[in-house]
Structures are given as C-alpha cells and as structure tokens.
Amino acid sequence: MYDIAQARELGFTSHWESLEFLNRQGFVANAPARLCRSIEDIEEYISTADRLRKELDFDIDGVVLKVDSLPLRRELGVTTKAPRWAIAYKFAQEQAVTRLQSVVWQVGRMQITPVAVLEPVELGGTTVSRASLHNIDQIREKDIRVGDLVVVEKAGFIIPYVVESRRDERTGAETEIEPPETCPACGGPTRVCREREDGVPGAGESTVVHCTNKTCQGMLARRVTYFVTMMEIENVGPQLVERLVSAGLVAEPVDLFRLRREDLLSVERMGEKLADKILYNIEKARTRPLSKVIAALGIPNVGAVSAEDLAHRFSTLTAFRAATADQLLTVSGIGEKVAQCITEFLAAPANIAWIDRLAAWLIEAPVGEAPSPSAPTLAGKTFVITGEAGVPRSELETLVKRHGGRVSGSVSAKTSYLVIGSLEGPGYTSGKKTKAESLGIPIIDEFGLKSMAESGNDPGGQHG
Ligand SMILES: [Zn+2]
C-alpha cells in the first residue's frame, strides 16, 4: 500500500498507525511490512525479505523504505518526481552460469532478433533455456560466442538476458555469431543496417536485421498476432495465425474480418464449433473501444497504457489521426519522443492506408454516449446457465445480476429460464436440459438472454 490519502484527517500521526488501522478494517495492508527503528533494523529487514520473497504469493523485486512520521513527511515534502520520504531498495538480480548452445534468429513484427539457446539452468525459480541477446551490436560488444559459458540474468519480470561471457574459460572451439543472410521464416534475403533503436527518435542507433521480403509470412504472422492480442480476440493464437497466413487467407490484420466459416474450416484441426466461436469473437472485436484500436495499430512505443491515455484525450479514431504533436504532448505520459513516433507513424502513406482499411471495419460507439444504467429488466427471474456460449459464462452471469436477476446452479421449479449457450447444437443433451424440459421451463440461448435484459420482453424460448 502506498498511503492513505486522508490519513491526517483520520488522526494518524504515523504511517504504521494507518496500516494497523487498515488491517483492523479487514484489508491486507502490511503482511510483509515492518516498522524499523534503526538502520540495523532496516538492513536486517532487507536481508530477511530477500530470503523470504520466494515464499510470497506475488513477485517483488525490492522493498520500499518510508519515513513513518507523517509530520516529518510533510516537512520533507516532494520533488517533481517523487516524495523525499520514500525510497526503493532493489534486490540484487538473480544470475546463473550456463552454456550457450546456439543462437536462433527470431522473426518479429519489425526485425529479426537473436535469441540465445542455453543449456537449461535454474534461475529465479524457473528453468531457463532461452535468453535475449538484444542485437548484434551487444553480441559483438560483449564478445559472446556459441559454446561460451555465459552469465544469464533475470531481473523482475523481464525476459532473461545474457550479461556476459566467461572468456577465460574458452577452449578455442567457440564460434562467432553472425547475422543470418536469409530470413528464417521465408528464406528471403536479409538486410543488415543501422537504425534508430525501437524507432525512437533521438535514441541511440543499433544494428538491426530485416527481412527484405515485403510479403514475408513470418513478419505478417507476427503483425497479425500483435493485432489479435491488442484487440483481445480470443481463440486466435499464434499457431492459428501462422496457418491462416500460410494458407493465404490472411495477409494483413484486417483480413481477419473477411474470414468466412468455410475459410476457417479449411484450416487443419478446426471444428465447426471452434470456427463459429472464432467468427463470433472477430465480429465482436469490431466494436472494441478506441484504446484497444490505438494499441493494435502497432505504433512504436505505444502500448496498452499509452493507448488508454490517448483514447481518453481524442475520443474518436478520426480525431486521433489528426492529432498534432502539440496536442499529443498534452496527454499525460506522452513525452516528446513518443509524440514524434506517433506523428511519424500517422503521416506515413502505408500507415494511412492501413488505418483506412481498418476503420472501414470498425463500429465506433457514438461519442459522449455514457452507458445507460442497467434497468432491472430481469428482476424476479432466476436463470440457470449451461453449455458453451460465444462469451464467457461469467459475462452472462454479470449481465443477469446487473439487470436484477438471479443465477442458480441447478434447475428446479423456481427456475425461470434455462440458458444453453448458442455454440451447442440442437442435439445437445444434459441433465439440466432434460429436467427443464420435464418441468416445462423455457430454454433460451445467450442472445435471447441479452435481448430480454435489454428489452425486458420474453424472447420466446422453446418450451420443453
Ligand atoms: Zn522473411
């Protein structure tokens, strides 16, 4: 916990008091916290916390030391960046030594990057067999060779990476690492060039490897997968994307919206039920909020969090596309470099065309239309939900409760409706269905439930 905003008004004079107060109120506020009275106390606490952190239910990469006295905190005040009364202590990162067996070149959305294949080693509670090598510059700078003993580090939540090689332990059999001449995904020729890092203006340049094939399937698949992830389209994983791309069914993200049922069914190991579910999920993605759409565009250095801020500021895709650097800079969390990334991205003809194609598929919510409060359309009704629907069952349960209805786990005379997910065919059988039929309880699917929740009218389920 960071702090209680109104602690002073509650009469506390110390942070510890406020933590104890929260605990009494039933919050879990200070499970691993401790009140330290001396620098020795602090040192002891840090080493204990470092030792015990593996037993915690959550990951920590350090502890925060805070001044306890609230009057003293007020006296110390804050700088523009952080309070003067708190400081973070980071634990030493975890390292392990292992052998670099080989290097694979991984095709990404923008470039081809080196990945170290390691002799498996325990690191930070997991077995690590792959680690990042960043780029060819770092490999040369650190003089890392295949066959080397290398130090691998894992800090916090980041991907493990190779810190250095043990050059003094070389046998002479080690080999230098060279960028690939052909793309590992499509076999097309690669190009090695100097480029701004991550596309960030002003950042240092680094040597990057590109596939020169504009229709490289590896790169396309990565772009589509990125889009799918950011648009939160369920049931479309990287492997399916690869199959769709290699079958020529998808050549860019918007092709997903064009997929027909028979296209999906032509893909290996695709059943009808899954195909319908995927089509449903893709269709649903057309109404994603602006924040998801902005994140899915693939603008360098604009992830989900910045996209959220941008969507808040610009409200519509049209407004966002017309954003000037000055406007972008008024968005919290958007600095000059990211603003420049955005304006450069939005000005590139290829991107303009791609956003046009995407916009044609999107269904934007009218601006300023706040979601209307849920009417108690389902009050007094009890629903039993079963079978597979196009949406998670929890979503349907929330819908029922939000509209004043009840959800029950079993069918009885008190059940108003049995909801069977639409992905179940007419031949679906279950104990709940049989019982509902014998009791004459109407059976509906999730669409019937939704229309009932919206209108309050009986959707006319089939009576058993
Ligand atoms: Zn390629």
Break the chain into its structural domains and give their ranges. 15-90, 93-213, 217-285, 290-359, 382-455
The pLDDT of residue 459 is 64
- Cα of 331 to ligand 1 centre, how many Å? 37
> What's the CA-to-centroid distance between 197 and ligand 1, angstroms?
20
What is residue 104's DSSP assignment? E
Q: How far is the CA of 213 from the centre of ligand 1 (A)?
A: 6
Ligand 1 centroid distance, CA of 294 (Å) = 26
Is residue 419 a contact partner of residue 384, using CB atoms and an 8 Å limit?
yes
Q: What is the mean pLDDT of residues 443-454?
A: 87
Q: d(Cα 133, Cα 195) in Å, to the nearest integer?
A: 17
* Fold matches, 217-285 and 290-359: yes
Q: Does domain 15-90 have CATH number 3.30.1490.70?
A: yes
> Ligand 1 centre and the CA of 254: distance in Å?
20
Q: Which CATH superfamily is domain 290-359 in?
A: 5' to 3' exonuclease, C-terminal subdomain (1.10.150.20)
CATH number 3.40.225.10 given to 93-213 = no
Q: What is the CA radius of gyration of the chain?
A: 28
pLDDT at residue 372 greater than cutoff 70: no
Q: How confident is the model at residue 371 (pLDDT cuts 50, 70, 90)?
A: very low
Query: What pLDDT was estimated at residue 320?
Result: 96
Q: How far is the CA of 257 from the centre of ligand 1 (A)?
A: 24
Burial (0-12, 13-18, 19+ Cβ within 10 Å), 64:
exposed
| Model pLDDT for residues 18-68, shown as the tens digit of each residue | 888 887 887 776 567 788 888 888 888 887 777 777 677 777 778 888 888
- Burial-class residue 218 by CB neighbours within 10 Å (0-12, 13-18, 19+): buried
Spatial CA neighbour of 15 closest among 29, 28, 25, 32: 29
* Beta strand spans in 38-90 (E): 62-66, 86-90
CATH code linked to domain 382-455: 3.40.50.10190
**Ligand 1 centroid vs 448 CA: distance in angstroms?**
47
Does residue 410 carry a pLDDT above 70? Answer: yes
**Ligand 1: centre distance to CA 220 (Å):** 9
The residue type found at 178 is: E
Going from the Cα of 190 to the center of ligand 1, the distance in angstroms, rounded, reads 8
Q: How far is the CA of 212 from the centre of ligand 1 (A)?
A: 7
Q: Shortest CA distance to 124 belongs to which of 159, 149, 176?
A: 159
CA of 182 to the centre of ligand 1 (A): 8
* Average per-residue pLDDT for the chain: 85
Give the bridge partners for 350, in sequence order. none
Tell me: the pLDDT tens digits for 146-156? 999 999 988 65
Looking at 175-179, 363-367, 383-387, which range is the least confident one?
363-367
Pair 168, 201: CB distance under 8 Å: no
- Please tell me which residue, 434 or 117, carries the higher pLDDT value: 117
CA of 218 to the centre of ligand 1 (A): 6
3-class SS of residue 191: strand
Each residue of 85-139: pLDDT tens digit?
888 877 766 789 999 999 999 998 888 999 999 999 988 777 899 998 988 999 9
Check whether 78 has a pLDDT greater than 90: no
Q: Which amino acid is at 355?
A: I
What fold is seen in the domain 217-285? DNA polymerase; domain 1 (1.10.150)
Angle (CA) 342-345-348 rounded to 5° is 150
Return the SS3 of 14.
strand
Q: Could you tell me the distance, in angstroms and rounded to a whole number, from the CA of residue 181 to the centre of ligand 1? A: 11
pLDDT tens for each residue of 375-402 = 788 888 999 998 887 777 777 887 887 7
Nearest to 95 by CA among 68, 65, 128: 128
- pLDDT > 90: what percent of the chain? 43
Q: Which of 55-59, 158-162, 306-310, 367-371 is predicted most confidently? A: 306-310
Give the pLDDT band of residue 158 (cuts 50, 70, 90). Answer: low
Structure tokens at 90: 């980071």
- In tens, the pLDDT along 349-363 reads 999 999 999 999 999
Provide the pLDDT for residue 2. 67
211 Cα: distance to centroid of ligand 1 (angstroms): 5
pLDDT at 370: 41
Between CA 461 and CA 116 the distance in angstroms is 58
Most confident of 78-87, 235-244, 300-309, 378-387: 235-244
Output the CA 259–ligand 1 centroid distance in Å: 24
Do 191 and 210 contact (CB within 8 A), yes or no? Answer: yes
